[in-house]
Amino acid sequence: MPQGNDPDSLSRCLASKSRRAILLQLRSGPKTVSDLVEMTGLKQPNVSNHLASMREMGVVGTLPDGRKVFYFITDPYVDSMIKIADLTFSPDQSRSIHHHKNGAAVSDNNQYLLSIREVYFKTLQDGDEDGAITLVNDILSHEVPMLEIYSEVFEWCIEKFGRMYIAGELDVAAEHAASSITERMMARVSQYYMPIKRGTSLAILGCVDGNWHEMGLRMIADALRNAGWKILYLGASVPTDSFIDTVTSFKPNLVALSCATHDQIETLRELVHELRTARVDRNLQFITALGGNAVNVQLPPVTLQDDEFCANGINDFIDTVAQTLSIPA
């Protein structure tokens, strides 16, 4: 990780073809300026200037040996990030962005994200939050749409960690660490993509009583906020009566529920029943969305009515909202 104050140093280094060429040569071991001039074909002043900049950023260090000075790589993520940069800047792997009919940007080629999420997963395994920041900054520098970052990187990694935890391949501390790091990376991304203008549509989101696994629902909340929704996020393990009181008080357009485990299904059914009753008794008009691991395994956990739907993942949720509600998603 760069030793400077800017955690994006490596990403900015790799945006330069000349710096990538220098770092490629340094991967095999320390080199002098003369060595690098000969190996890269760059002029000596250019090599010296690039090395000075990368040293200030903390990407390379120096090792004096008599009258010679050898440069070496200090950042452990150079190898992985160079591979990602090669995909990003190669003409054969260029990432073009087009716009969906609903205004969301979509990548024509997601090879970049497929590569970077593997490296991000490794930072989670290592509990390396500094490395995660470097990767997320690189993603943001390439203007990847927020929904793609969430679905193709964060959601993918957390689901993989969940499968490993269930299989007994990692302990609860490692799973919690991965979730905590990703929550902070989500905050970084959501602030970067904070909408300038917000609409009038309100969504209330919460986990059923006893469900403490809220990351998937947090992603949904961020995605809706990015699309211009007003968000009232209730978080984990919301008692049914408190949930209903909030819905009747704020009169939302959308209510999203998360149910993580099978033993919470009855609580989910009770909450859905209470929401239906409140909708009729208070003349409320809102759509109810059900999600979470238990819902995805047991589809549907309740007999759905016309104003209810189940969603499997963030993309499915956002697509269904766009198709179900007449107001913008």
Q: What are phi and psi for residue 325, nearest 5 degrees?
A: -100, 140
Specify if 3 maps to a domain: no
What is the model's pLDDT at position 302? 82
Residue at which a domain ends, from 158, 192, 226: 192
**Ranges under pLDDT 50 in the chain:** 1-5, 91-109, 329
Q: Do residues 119 and 156 make contact, with C-beta atoms less than 8 angstroms apart?
A: no
Specify if 69 maps to a domain: yes
pLDDT digits (tens, 9 = 90+) for 192-238: 888 777 788 999 999 999 999 899 999 999 999 988 899 999 999 99
Q: Do residues 10 and 75 make contact, with C-beta atoms less than 8 angstroms apart?
A: yes
What is the model's pLDDT at position 299? 60
pLDDT digits (tens, 9 = 90+) for 228-274: 899 999 999 999 999 999 999 999 999 999 998 889 999 999 999 99
Specify if 1 maps to a domain: no
| The model scores a pTM over 0.85 | no
Q: Closest Cα partner for 83 from 135, 31, 41?
A: 135
Pair 121, 19 in one domain = no
Return the CATH number at 44. Answer: 1.10.10.10
Give the integer Cα–Cα distance in Å for 289 and 52.
54
Specify if 311 maps to a domain: yes
Q: How many domains does the chain have?
A: 3
Tokens of 93: 């792997």
Pair 172, 93 in one domain = yes
Pair 96, 178 in one domain = yes
Give the integer Cα–Cα distance in Å for 6 and 57.
8
Q: Do residues 284 and 251 make contact, with C-beta atoms less than 8 angstroms apart?
A: yes
What is the model's pLDDT at position 9? 65
Q: Do residues 315 and 294 make contact, with C-beta atoms less than 8 angstroms apart?
A: no
Residue at which a domain ends, from 58, 73, 88: 73
